[in-house]
Amino acid sequence: MLSPQQVIDRLAERWAKARRSPPNCTLGREARRRRGGACSACTPPQEFELDGAVAHLIDTAVFQRAGIGMCPYYVVASHLVAGLTLGPEAFRARSAGKDLVDPVVEVKGALRRVRIVLRASQLNPEDIEALSDKHDRWNALYAVLSAERALEKALAMFQAQIPAKTGRSPRGRVGALHIQAVARAMAGAWRTLTGRLPAKDNSKFHELLHAATTTIFGHPAEEPNWESATRTAVERINKDAASRS
């Protein structure tokens, strides 16, 4: 099972690839296919539960805004990656000492995997450095050693940013920040692809939100209140828009 950071990285790669070579999406400009989850310009991804939700919304003509020319898979991925890395909820989580994706946990995991490779070589760091210019295999092993050192440095920097524990809890419902971040990201994508923010009791949006949350964080132990998360996201988007006008 992929970690949240690995899923975000995969979506970011998809987003970056689409930016380099954007498909000429023809949704709304050609006869709608009854099934297939895409227009004739692309093959839809089938990697995550989120992809299935997007395909269903395309097949049911929810995501078919004539003339927009933007692939729904690209739009959803871009909003989700941006929301979970740069969105307001991500900043709120970090200020409260709780990252939506915990870099300490992820870097420690990467270090464990890197060290497996180094241990398997049965060489100490000095031996690897001495052999680094002898053969491609040793160059590769030296690169792994360098990665270990870089990760150790990054880990120390991340750990130094963790605030000391106090008797006071941070204000706000920190535990729900990951749901709020996904809800806000998906509400933004929904507006781009339909021309409006999700309305009250929008079951189709709730299905998309559920799929996005599950894709990133896994199946929740308790079913969140999707309507409450949607309402909060819409209110905050409208409030931000009003403050800028």
More confident residue, 141 or 33: 141
Interatomic CA distance for residues 193 and 190, integer angstroms: 5
pLDDT confidence of 219, banded at 50, 70, 90?
confident
As given in the structure block, the two tokens for residue 64 are 């078919």
User: Is 216 within 8 Å of 4 (Cβ atoms)?
Assistant: yes
Interatomic CA distance for residues 98 and 102, integer angstroms: 7
For the four alpha carbons of 108, 110, 111 and 116, in that order, the dihedral sign comes to positive
User: Is 93 within 8 Å of 177 (Cβ atoms)?
Assistant: yes
The pLDDT of residue 162: 58
Percent of the chain residues topping a pLDDT of 90? 26
pLDDT at 38 over 80: no
Domain definitions of the chain by residue range: 4-88+174-244, 102-160
pLDDT at 13 over 70: yes
Residue 5: burial class (beta carbons within 10 Å; 0-12, 13-18, 19+): buried
pLDDT confidence of 114, banded at 50, 70, 90?
confident
User: Is 101 within 8 Å of 4 (Cβ atoms)?
Assistant: yes
Interatomic CA distance for residues 198 and 230, integer angstroms: 8
As given in the structure block, the two tokens for residue 151 are 């990760």
pLDDT at 134 over 70: no
Interatomic CA distance for residues 92 and 181, integer angstroms: 10
User: Is 59 within 8 Å of 34 (Cβ atoms)?
Assistant: yes
Average pLDDT across the chain, whole number: 80
Interatomic CA distance for residues 186 and 178, integer angstroms: 12
The pLDDT of residue 226: 94
Interatomic CA distance for residues 41 and 109, integer angstroms: 39
Percent of the chain residues topping a pLDDT of 70? 76
Interatomic CA distance for residues 225 and 48, integer angstroms: 22
Residues in the chain: 245
Q: Mind listing the pLDDT tens digit for each residue in 62-91? A: 887 765 678 889 899 999 988 888 776 665
Q: Mind listing the pLDDT tens digit for each residue in 155-182? A: 888 777 655 443 333 333 434 778 888 9
pLDDT at 96 over 50: no
Interatomic CA distance for residues 80 and 102, integer angstroms: 17
Interatomic CA distance for residues 155 and 152, integer angstroms: 5
